[in-house]
């Protein structure tokens, strides 16, 4: 992991033109996804000089989309739907002059029935007060009266959990909550668990009860219109994110695309100083004493030997020449520093030469060069130097890290691992997911039975248990005669050994089970179908992870903010998920910077809808019992001590 947590000794302003001194406070945003764009939007409106760094060649992050010429339509990085209650994101887009004419509203959706059958339900007909409208959404024959009756306790506990900080919700899974509440297996397997998979991208036995109850509170227990999602017809980047970028550029925001953040630079007091856009090792970090150490520097893992008296930094390929294991820096019994292979006992000296078998070849040298102006060492290879002619450090008064979780883990610095508010980030896990999108037209009695894409709630019982499908159940879409499939695969260990063809066949098995009369296997255009693999796609909050997840701001990191759909909001009462969570945390990051600058009047107000009356009514008994039990526990604890 990079340890570039010391600044360049030069106090002079960065030559980077986007943050040249102009009297404005400077903010650098890492990541041009929704969270980063939201933060840049609010900061630019408040008069800050904002630079956005993005590793990809376009904005969007995990909301990327592109045109596949072979398919003839837009391919999404997953499925992108907008829910009516995404008020903060919609407000930002409205400010940028982005309309809503491209949305397609969900009218019909699939609901699993007994015996792994598929039934359709009309979302357009969902109406009435919460949560009674949910009963009208479920097709007749799927659930029985006693299923609804026995689900009342978990409904009451879910409403009671709204805004609660009870630790037991973090310590148990949603599946155990259902069991403890007496929910019937039919209700759990056909409705609650499938909806959880759609809302939280996780299995009921893997996700915490808190995240599950928050998701249910947010999406389905407030308003009938909240379940009527809208889909992007043409790709988020083309329809929304590129226009948003242009609107921000008009506000003075500077975008640097293709500029991945390689490390985060802190001073000795742990205060953020700069983001480095190239892999580097600072002079200050090397210090005045000889040492051997290892480092991930850009794409290379290195073994490094520092000789201060000669001002020489030797670098070697840090993988053992025996079987490619990463070496570690150690000292032998005599205090001599060596590079050791922890796998098979190999050992190398400070010059990379073999001291102990099984390796027989020395570590391969890697060229380094010293940049005196920046007081840093960089790789001496094509692409290893600065593309802008400066020291590669983008200095700013504040930073917003709006990076997806995997990217931040890859550059996670020592200063953040030692900070109490961010120390648990490497422990956060991500869920595997398969997303499926398909289009086809089935005819029945000479009339179209299905037409156009939509989303379905599925209860697959195999490894494809996070299963979305855009199929042909949405009535307002134009009828399509082609049939192809897109499988978006997350980083599930069960899938890594499977080839694309294997995954394609597994997907067809699931679809054939739900749609046995459609003969999908025979009708599928295999050449036009796609299997797309993604790494660290969605955050998975297992029991306890909620407490590990950092908030947007913290007093221990006064000029470094976090934003993203995996970040907890500063305001615990603000419920949000996915794209809306990214937007909300981006706004909160900007507002936190304004608080530091004593500019509260510039902060952007965050819309947070009040809970329905039924939440207070149904949640009251559980809250009351919890309060009484808690009082007795505290009393007993006092007596015991």
Helix (H) or strand (E) holding 315: strand 312-317
Flag whether 18 is in a domain: no
CA distance 160 to 466: 27
Secondary structure E strands in 495-562: 530-533, 538-540, 560-562
42, pLDDT greater than 90: yes
Mean pLDDT of 520-542: 73
Residues 169, 70, single domain; the answer is no
371, pLDDT greater than 70: yes
Residues 123, 147, single domain; the answer is yes
pLDDT computed for residue 524 by the predictor:
75
Flag whether 47 is in a domain: yes
Lowest mean pLDDT: which of 65-79, 269-283, 469-483, 558-572?
469-483
With contact defined as beta carbons under 8 Å apart, do 555 and 421 qualify? no
Cα 210 vs. chain centroid, distance in angstroms?
A: 18
Residues 6+ apart with CB under 8 A from 613: none
Chain position carrying tokens 């648990």: 424
Query: Angle 80-515-68 (CA atoms, 0-180°, nearest 5)?
Result: 40
Mean pLDDT of 222-235: 80
Cα 291 vs. chain centroid, distance in angstroms?
A: 37
Lowest mean pLDDT: which of 47-61, 194-208, 599-613?
194-208
Alpha-carbon distance values, 488 to 78, 114, 434, 503, 530 (Å): 7, 27, 5, 10, 8
Domain count, the chain: 4
pLDDT computed for residue 537 by the predictor:
63
Sign of CA pseudo-dihedral 211, 213, 215, 218: negative
Flag whether 110 is in a domain: no
Residues 139, 211, single domain; the answer is yes
Number of Cβ atoms within 10 Å of the Cβ of 538? 23
Secondary structure E strands in 33-107: 49-54, 65-68, 73-76, 81-82, 103-105
Q: Is 270 left (phi over 0), alpha (psi -120 to 50) or beta?
A: left
CA distance 224 to 43: 35
Mean pLDDT of 256-267: 87
Helix (H) or strand (E) holding 30: strand 26-30
Give the bridge partners for 82, in sequence order. 230
Lowest mean pLDDT: which of 22-31, 110-119, 479-488, 497-506?
479-488
b/e burial code for range 489-511 (CB count within 10 A of at least 16 → b): bbbbeebeebeeeebbebbbebb
Residues 6, 95, single domain; the answer is yes
Q: Which range of residues forms the domain containing residue 458?
A: 434-489+492-533
CA distance 66 to 338: 49
Flag whether 113 is in a domain: no
Residues 6+ apart with CB under 8 A from 135: 148
Residues 6+ apart with CB under 8 A from 411: 1, 2, 261, 262, 263, 264
Mean pLDDT of 106-115: 71
Tell me phi and psi for residue 504, to 5 degrees.
-60, -45
389, pLDDT greater than 50: no
CA distance 259 to 386: 10
Residues 470, 331, single domain; the answer is no
Lowest mean pLDDT: which of 15-24, 158-167, 261-270, 307-316?
15-24
CA distance 112 to 109: 10
Of the three residues 533, 565, 586, the one that is the final residue of a domain is 533
Percent of the chain with pLDDT over 90: 30
Residues 485, 344, single domain; the answer is no
CA distance 292 to 117: 62
Mean pLDDT of 600-604: 94
442, pLDDT greater than 60: no
Residues 2, 88, single domain; the answer is yes
CA distance 327 to 171: 37
- The two counts, helices (H) then strands (E), for the chain are 20, 34
Cα Rg for the chain, rounded, in angstroms? 27
Residues 6+ apart with CB under 8 A from 578: 565
Residues 85, 139, single domain; the answer is no
Q: pLDDT category, 413, cuts 50, 70, 90?
A: confident
CA distance 400 to 552: 9
Could you say which DSSP state residue 226 is in?
A: G
Residues 320, 178, single domain; the answer is no
pLDDT computed for residue 430 by the predictor:
72
Give the bridge partners for 76, in sequence order. 65
Q: Which of 579, 575, 554, 553 is nearest to 564 (CA)?
A: 579
Show the DSSP H helices in 208-364 as ranges. Answer: 209-219, 236, 242-250, 283-286
594, pLDDT greater than 70: yes
280, pLDDT greater than 90: no
Flag whether 19 is in a domain: no
pLDDT digits (tens, 9 = 90+) for 490-500: 666 666 677 88
Tell me phi and psi for residue 436, to 5 degrees.
-125, 135
DSSP for 382-445 reads TT-S-SSSS-SEEE-SEEEE---HHHHHHT--HHHHTSTTTTTGGG-EEE--EEEEEE---EET
Lowest mean pLDDT: which of 243-247, 338-342, 362-366, 467-471?
467-471
b/e burial code for range 225-260 (CB count within 10 A of at least 16 → b): ebbbbbbbebbbbbbbbebbbebbeeeebbbbeebb
pLDDT computed for residue 3 by the predictor:
31
Which of 153 and 122 is assigned the larger pLDDT? 153
Flag whether 140 is in a domain: yes
With contact defined as beta carbons under 8 Å apart, do 529 and 507 qualify? no
Mean pLDDT of 68-83: 71
Alpha-carbon distance values, 378 to 60, 262, 318 (Å): 29, 12, 16
Q: Is 303 left (phi over 0), alpha (psi -120 to 50) or beta?
A: beta
Give the dihedral of Cα atoms 214, 33, 45, 397; nearest 10 deg. 100
Sign of CA pseudo-dihedral 59, 64, 67, 73: negative
Pairing of strands 560-562, 398-401: parallel
Flag whether 483 is in a domain: yes
46-50, 119-123, 159-163, 211-215: which is most confident? 46-50
CA distance 433 to 199: 12
Flag whether 62 is in a domain: yes
200, pLDDT greater than 50: yes
Residues 247, 220, single domain; the answer is no
Residues 4, 90, single domain; the answer is yes
| CATH classification of the domain holding 88 | 3.50.50.60
pLDDT digits (tens, 9 = 90+) for 238-256: 889 999 999 999 999 999 9
Residues 622, 641, single domain; the answer is yes
pLDDT computed for residue 383 by the predictor:
45
């Amino acid at each position: 992991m990079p340890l570039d947590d010391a600044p360049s000794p030069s106090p002079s302003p960065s030559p980077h033109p986007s943050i040249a001194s102009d009297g404005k406070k400077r903010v650098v945003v890492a990541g041009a996804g929704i969270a980063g764009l939201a933060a840049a939007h609010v900061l630019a409106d408040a008069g800050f000089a904002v630079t956005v760094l993005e590793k990809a060649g376009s904005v969007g992050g995990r909301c990327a989309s592109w045109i596949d010429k072979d398919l003839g339509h837009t391919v999404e990085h997953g499925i992108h739907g907008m829910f009516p209650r995404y008020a903060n994101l919609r407000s930002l887009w409205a400010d940028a002059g982005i309309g809503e004419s491209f949305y397609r509203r969900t009218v019909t959706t699939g609901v699993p029935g007994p015996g792994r059958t598929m039934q359709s339900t009309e979302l357009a007909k969902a109406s009435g007060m919460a949560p009674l409208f949910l009963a009208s959404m479920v097709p007749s024959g799927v659930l029985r009266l006693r299923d609804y009756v026995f689900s009342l306790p978990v409904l009451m506990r879910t409403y009671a959990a709204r805004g609660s900080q009870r630790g037991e919700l973090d310590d148990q899974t949603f599946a155990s909550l259902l069991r403890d509440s007496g929910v019937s297996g039919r209700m759990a397997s056909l409705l609650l668990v499938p909806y959880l998979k759609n809302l939280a991208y996780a299995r009921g036995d893997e996700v915490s009860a808190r995240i599950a109850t928050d998701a249910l509170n947010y999406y389905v227990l407030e308003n009938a219109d909240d379940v009527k999602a809208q889909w992007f017809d043409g790709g988020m980047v083309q329809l929304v994110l590129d226009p948003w970028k242009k609107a921000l550029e008009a506000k003075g925001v500077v975008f640097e695309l293709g500029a991945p953040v390689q490390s985060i630079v802190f001073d000795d007091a742990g205060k953020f100083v700069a983001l480095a856009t190239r892999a580097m090792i600072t002079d200050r970090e090397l210090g005045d004493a000889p040492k051997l150490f290892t480092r991930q520097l850009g794409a290379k893992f290195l073994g490094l030997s520092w000789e201060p008296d000669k001002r020489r930094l030797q670098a070697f390929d840090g993988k053992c020449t025996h079987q490619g294991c990463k070496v570690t820096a150690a000292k032998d019994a005599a205090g001599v520093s060596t590079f050791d292979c922890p796998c098979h006992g190999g050992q190398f000296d400070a010059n990379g030469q073999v001291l102990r078998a099984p390796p027989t070849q020395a570590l391969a040298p890697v060229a380094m060069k010293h940049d005196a102006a920046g007081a840093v060492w960089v790789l001496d290879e094509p692409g290893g130097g600065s593309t802008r002619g400066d020291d590669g450090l983008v200095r700013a008064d504040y930073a917003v890290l709006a990076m997806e979780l995997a990217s931040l883990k890859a550059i996670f610095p020592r200063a953040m691992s030692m900070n109490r508010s961010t120390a648990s980030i490497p422990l956060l896990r991500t869920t595997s997911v398969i997303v499926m999108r398909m289009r086809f037209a089935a005819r029945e009695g000479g009339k179209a039975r299905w037409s156009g894409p939509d989303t379905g709630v599925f209860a697959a019982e195999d490894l494809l248990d996070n299963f979305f499908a855009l199929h042909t159940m949405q009535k307002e879409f134009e009828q399509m005669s082609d049939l192809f499939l897109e499988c978006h695969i997350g980083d599930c260990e069960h899938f890594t050994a499977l080839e694309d063809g294997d995954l394609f066949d597994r997907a067809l098995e699931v679809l054939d089970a739900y749609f046995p009369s459609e003969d999908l296997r025979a009708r599928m255009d295999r050449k036009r179908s796609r299997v797309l693999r993604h790494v660290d796609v969605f955050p998975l909050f297992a029991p306890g992870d909620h407490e590990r997840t950092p908030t947007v701001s913290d007093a221990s990191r006064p000029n470094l903010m976090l934003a993203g759909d995996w970040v907890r909001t500063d305001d615990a009462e603000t419920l949000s998920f996915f794209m809306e969570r990214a937007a909300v945390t981006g706004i909160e990051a900007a507002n936190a910077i304004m608080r530091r600058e004593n500019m509260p009047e510039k902060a952007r107000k965050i819309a947070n809808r009040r809970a329905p009356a039924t939440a207070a009514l149904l949640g009251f008994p559980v809250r009351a019992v919890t309060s009484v039990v808690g009082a007795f526990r505290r009393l007993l604890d006092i007596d015991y001590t």
